[in-house]
A and B are shown apart, each in its own frame.
Chain A
């Protein structure tokens, strides 16, 4: 009797942990379902509205629907809807890992100037025709954006490893980068031709309307490249949140992990920005929503960040089509309008700490 009682006692924590993990998996599955629904609605909405049934039929039985419906869904709306997913997921994961490695809740590609740097890099190509990597002129815009983003990310990384630099200093440095690159961007805009100016303005507003399948594949491929890298380091990245000393004491090469993560993050942040322009809110808030829902164990936090970012941008895409009938508003402009109320509700109703 005593032994039975003891055995029951020793497994209490384990049982509770399993229940917690199960709850998180259910939440993640719920997010997947919500994302699929959101993407379907996104594809149904447009100048010609379709029903969800028509969308699903054209997705799974493409041969049985009219050519017009098939073309609209597959060639026009799906690239935009899937782009919202890949871009949202990329920016959110980038923000999540920046917050993790810099131990800073304000870290995101937007707040640390990486998006601004990518924007400036792209504008250099759009306005001045400057290719930072002359060997591949045909991919000048995304490569420019990536190189500038990486330069900014590395600057932030090395600054963060210097002695006496605090997390507050890093945020200040990031804000300084935002102002610097925005000033340079304004200068380019001032000097730009009318056509180039329109292209640059498109950037700064952020829009999914110019999404194409090749762009979707590239952002998707970057995401598929980055996620396994992060997944493999899930325990180590989680341990970073216990502090640098503690992580090192657990046998983690903190410096190497930070560098590798920052390089991957710069890729994740730069590529979407180079295609759809500056979308600021997702990278900052997507990870916070994920953290509040599933905690910081990266085995749950990583997929939840992917899904939160994707869902946030997909839902924004839906709202951008419905806010003013007949018009598609730039997604970067209204992302915050969709995310902020949800974020506030979570902050004020969540009893656990958010950071």
Chain B
């Protein structure tokens, strides 16, 4: 089983400290962990720090079974819309970094499988520039999955998707994590998605970790009031699932 733990992790851009003191227990493989917090709280920075794309204090502890930094894949929010590349080519090149020019049939087959799983195989030979933001987000997920990461850091992967696609993608990721043992950290703004799909939740606000633990224990009315400045309740719906109900903002 793969695992990841953060010990006093922080991040700096130059001399400017943008994140500090993120501590978590071991985040096991096979489950999804939500990273939530207001805009510009430091969620993307935390992901970049874990992926080795930002420097800072603290330690990202990886379990011995992981193949090091290569095991981690960070999926940023933006993906290029200007490139004169097809969807298929963009996924292929994500898998071929550092490899030879030759493309094997087995590699093409893997791309086919991933595009089919995400139900974007009909877009395979469309140019990236011709896609909508949501379609590009799905391509971005395909580019991440083709690298077969053991730890996947997804930065708001559903922000441009319609409701049906949000549910579909998150359900797919959850079952994929459970099946492959991959550890998925996912930055989300929709707290109901976090409640529904993520076992653990980390709350980041103003460049620091505020809370971390099982999602049901972390997302509470008091947390929503303190961090999001909204009066809200977490209640059970008629299906017995927790949902966030927002009453009003606190001015």
Contact = CB atoms under 8 A, between A and B. Distances in A.
B116 A103 contact: no
Contacts of B231: none
Interface residues of B, number: 46
B129 A251 contact: no
A299 to B, nearest CB: 5
A246 B82 CA distance: 13
A291 B103 CA distance: 21
Contacts, number: 112
B125 A16 contact: yes
B216 interface: no
Chain A interface helix/strand/loop/mixed:
helix
Contact of B90 (A16, A18, A242, A249): A242
Contact of B79 (A238, A242, A299): A242
Contacts of B88: 13, 16-17
B84 A17 contact: no
A164 B104 CA distance: 42
Contacts of A296: 83-85, 89
B101 A243 contact: no
Given A10-B109, A10-B116, A353-B129, A249 B74 contact: yes
A236 interface: yes
Contacts of B93: 235, 238-239, 242, 297
A71 interface: no
A88 B83 CA distance: 24
Given A10-B116, A16-B124, A295 B94 contact: no
B127 A235 contact: no
Interface in A318-355: 352-355
Interface string B62-92: 0000000010011111111011111011101
Contacts of A299: 101
Contacts of A297: 85, 89, 93
A354 B84 CA distance: 7
Contacts of B199: none
Interface in B108-146: 108-109, 111-113, 115-116, 121, 124-125, 127-130, 140, 143
